[in-house]
């Protein structure tokens, strides 16, 4: 929040004393080669307004990270002792000198406090400026860049500079060098007649035997249509009743004008969850997000996420975050809109709230290599802040196997984006962030890996300690030289877990639809996590928070708490991809959840896994 009484005098003083900052020597802060698949068309209009986000360094972030791992480690005495909003903000706040010097620089360009907005910790400064001023400030030239395959366009530059004396006081500025194209992770979308679909399985078909499932079996129809009942049976959650009054909440993020339709939700509930009829969810609008409830404008992604997440967890209160803004725009509609990656808009908002859902699912991602490393790390640090506050974040792992997010192999671009054009597998971000839980996909009963399940190894983030044992075991099974040079064996490994990801029956614009993608897996796994949180909160225990240290600890000591997936692979980039195998693998992680066993573990009073 702004504090005008404090900052306006500083800004005004800067106007008087800091004018030379405008003309001092500059240093290149970031430079990238022309991005693959984009064409520089024309100079950006001088009056086009962009929203510059300036990241100030977080000198105490390593301390925050230490706290995060301690409160997330089931072996640690501080397990579950999450930090408050104020404690987190104090650990990401910049130095006063950084704030002062950046203020001086902005004021030298006529930008005083009234023109600025700041994050609660003051580690981000945002200002809307015309392209002409941004070019003067950053000693650069902005152009309209057009994406060759889609015609979408962004206003970007390939290099920018800042005054030399600010180099250690500014971490990054965007939008400048980021050419990402955020997309939802759904691979299949087929409209089916409901009666024809269900008629394919005889009513007297025997159930499928699955020892780890509720009652040891799953209805035969689940091999062609996934419903709430299928998931509850398969993941051993039949009969558990979450509380609506213990403070537990679940959240779903929505982007790219995806609207969660409440009329469709009622049709879904009538079809699969009749006890939830007439219940709904709260919608929060962020950065110009909309809530169009016209039935024909319903979003397949938003409906999939909300119907299954809220259907699995009813009567847990649900929230849908509708975030506006998207990186691409049409070059003939140069309106003053935000062209930043909208993850940051969502983070800005949610980190400023005191009350946040304990479980949040996101089914959108970018190719990791299209996100500048400095930006990816800062956004990832934002996710760490949420984890430290007790929030579990799930992200779909991707729908292109080991390739980029394109499910059609013919459209995959398996080349580096650094000017070398070297052949390379393409992990996705944010799933590559070590502070979130990446969810891969399975299909059928008994479960096998679904072919499009995104997986692999980050080229930006090193492998975190919590993965070392499980991932090293997998790497040791690979034949020497397997995919040498195509992936980073020392990178953060993806995914962590998996869940069903295809043949999901939802309602869209009043009709039944079959849909799939790791977009389905993320809200499914998130629903199971929310049920676990409900069980904990009802016993007076804190929420699970950042899950990954716990997931890998349980997998090491009680592996049957996850259903190990050992059949299938995730082809991409002209290769068969990796194989699902015993233990962790880069297709399905440690496997799919066994809610009954996980509940018994996480509701232990101290949750010291070694005592299982």
Query: Which residues are catalytically annotated?
Result: 301, 305, 519
Structure token pair of residue 246: 């213990």
**With the C-alpha atoms ordered 2, 353, 387, 392, is the resulting torsion angle positive or negative?**
negative
CB 105 within 8 A of CB 129: no
- Smallest CA-to-CA distance from 535 within 373, 228, 260, 313 is with 313
The annotation status of 271 as a binding-site residue, yes or no, is no
Instruction: Return phi, psi of residue 207, to 5°.
Output: -65, 160
**Alpha carbons 214 and 227: distance in angstroms, whole number:** 15
Structure token pair of residue 24: 């001092």
Instruction: Return phi, psi of residue 76, to 5°.
Output: -95, 145
- Smallest CA-to-CA distance from 319 within 407, 391, 367 is with 391
Q: What is the DSSP letter of 423?
A: B
DSSP string, 156-219: E-SEEEEEGGGTTT--EEESSS-----EE---EEEE--HHHHHHTS-TTPPPEE-TTSGGGEE-
DSSP string, 529-566: HHHHHHHHHHTTPPP--S-HHHHHHHHHH-GGGEE---
**Alpha carbons 501 and 449: distance in angstroms, whole number:** 9
Structure token pair of residue 256: 């790219």
The annotation status of 564 as a binding-site residue, yes or no, is yes
Class of residue 365 by CB neighbours under 10 A (exposed 0-12, middle 13-18, buried 19+): buried
- For 395-422, give the secondary structure using H, E and C: EECCCCCCCCCCCCHHHCCCECCCCCCC
- Smallest CA-to-CA distance from 561 within 535, 595, 587, 514 is with 595
The annotation status of 583 as a binding-site residue, yes or no, is yes
Structure token pair of residue 585: 């693998």
Q: Which residues are annotated as a binding site for Ca(2+)?
A: 564-565, 583, 585
Q: Which residues are annotated as a binding site?
A: 564-565, 583, 585
């Amino acid at each position: 929040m702004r504090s005008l009484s404090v900052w306006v005098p500083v800004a005004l003083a800067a106007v008087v004393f800091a004018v030379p900052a405008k003309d001092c020597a500059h240093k290149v802060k970031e430079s990238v080669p022309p991005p693959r698949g984009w064409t520089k068309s024309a100079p950006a209009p001088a009056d086009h307004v962009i929203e510059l986000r300036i990241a100030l360094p977080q000198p105490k972030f390593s301390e925050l990270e230490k706290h995060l791992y301690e409160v997330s480690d089931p072996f640690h005495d501080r397990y579950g002792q999450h930090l408050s909003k104020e404690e987190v903000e104090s650990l990401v706040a910049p130095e006063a000198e950084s704030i002062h010097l950046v203020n001086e620089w902005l004021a030298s360009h006529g930008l005083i406090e009234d023109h600025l907005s700041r994050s609660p910790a003051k580690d981000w400064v945002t200002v809307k400026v015309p392209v002409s001023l941004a070019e003067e400030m950053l000693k650069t030239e902005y152009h309209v860049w057009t994406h060759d395959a889609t015609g979408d366009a962004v206003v970007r530059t390939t290099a920018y500079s800042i005054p030399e004396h600010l180099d250690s006081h500014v971490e990054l500025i965007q939008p400048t060098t980021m050419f990402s194209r955020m997309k939802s992770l759904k691979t299949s979308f087929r409209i089916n007649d409901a009666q024809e679909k269900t008629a394919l399985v005889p009513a007297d078909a025997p159930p499928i035997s699955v020892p780890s499932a509720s009652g040891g079996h799953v209805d035969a129809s689940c091999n062609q249509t996934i419903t709430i009942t299928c998931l509850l049976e398969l993941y051993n959650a039949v009969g558990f009743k979450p509380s609506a009054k213990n403070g537990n909440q679940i959240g779903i993020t929505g982007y790219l004008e995806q609207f969660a339709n409440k009329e469709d939700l009622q049709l879904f509930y009538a079809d699969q969850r009749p006890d939830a009829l007439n219940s709904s969810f709260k919608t929060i609008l962020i950065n110009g997000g909309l809530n169009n409830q016209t039935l024909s404008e319903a979003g397949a992604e938003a409906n999939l996420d909300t119907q299954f997440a809220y259907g699995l967890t009813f009567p847990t209160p649900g929230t849908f975050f509708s975030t506006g803004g998207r990186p691409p725009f049409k070059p003939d509609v140069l309106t003053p809109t935000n062209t930043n990656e909208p993850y940051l808009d969502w983070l800005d908002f949610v980190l400023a709230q005191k009350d946040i859902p304990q479980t949040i699912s996101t089914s959108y991602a970018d190719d990791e290599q299209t996100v500048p490393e400095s930006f990816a790390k800062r956004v990832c640090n934002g996710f760490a802040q949420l984890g430290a506050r007790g929030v579990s974040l799930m992200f779909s792992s991707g729908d292109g196997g080991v390739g980029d997010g394109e499910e059609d192999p013919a459209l995959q671009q398996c080349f580096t984006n650094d000017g070398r054009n070297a052949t390379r597998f393409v992990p996705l971000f944010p799933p590559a962030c070590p502070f979130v839980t990446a969810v891969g996909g399975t299909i059928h009963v008994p479960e096998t890996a679904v072919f499009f399940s995104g997986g692999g190894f980050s080229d930006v983030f090193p492998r975190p300690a919590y993965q070392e044992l499980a991932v090293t075991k997998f790497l040791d099974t690979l034949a020497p030289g397997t995919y040498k040079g195509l992936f980073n064996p020392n990178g953060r490994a993806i995914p962590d877990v998996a869940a069903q990801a295809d043949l999901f029956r939802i309602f869209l614009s009043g009709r039944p639809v079959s849909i799939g993608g790791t977009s389905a897996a993320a809200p499914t796994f998130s629903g199971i996590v929310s049920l676990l949180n409900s069980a904990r909160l009802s016993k007076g225990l804190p929420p699970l928070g950042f899950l990954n240290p716990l997931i890998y600890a349980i997998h090491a000591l009680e592996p049957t708490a996850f259903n190990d997936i050992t059949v299938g692979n995730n082809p991409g980039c002209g290769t068969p991809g990796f194989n699902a195998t015993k233990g962790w693998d880069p297709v399905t992680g440690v496997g799919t959840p066994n809610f009954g066993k996980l509940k018994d573990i996480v509701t232990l009073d101290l949750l010291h896994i070694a005592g299982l």
